[in-house]
Amino acid sequence: MGNIENSAYLIGTVVGALFAGALIGLIPFFLGRKWGKQRLGTVGLVVCILCNFLLGIWLSIPACLIIIVVMLLTRK
């Protein structure tokens, strides 16, 4: 019984991390679409998902902010 519980916990952790990263990554994604930076917005979404998977919200939010700043600086 212990293996099933451990597997369920692991799956829940992975899915939760990916979902939370996707929620944070939607911010640069939609800003990129609005500001004409679709590719950078998509990259921001993927980076936020990966960062949240690696170190959680502690890395995902700063990555989101950095991508937004890059979008602002490269905006015409």
pLDDT score, position 2:
64
Distance CA 53, CA 66 (A): 18
What are the pLDDT digits (tens) for 15-35? 999 999 999 999 999 999 999
What are the pLDDT digits (tens) for 44-73? 999 999 999 899 899 999 999 999 999 999
User: For residue 5, what pLDDT band results from cuts at 50, 70 and 90?
Assistant: confident
> How do the domains of the chain map onto residue ranges?
2-73
Distance CA 26, CA 10 (A): 24
**Which among 51, 67, 50 has a CA at the least distance from the CA of 59?**
51
**Which among 51, 6, 55 has a CA at the least distance from the CA of 25?**
51
Name the more confident of 2 and 74.
74
- Entry pTM: 0.86
Distance CA 4, CA 9 (A): 9
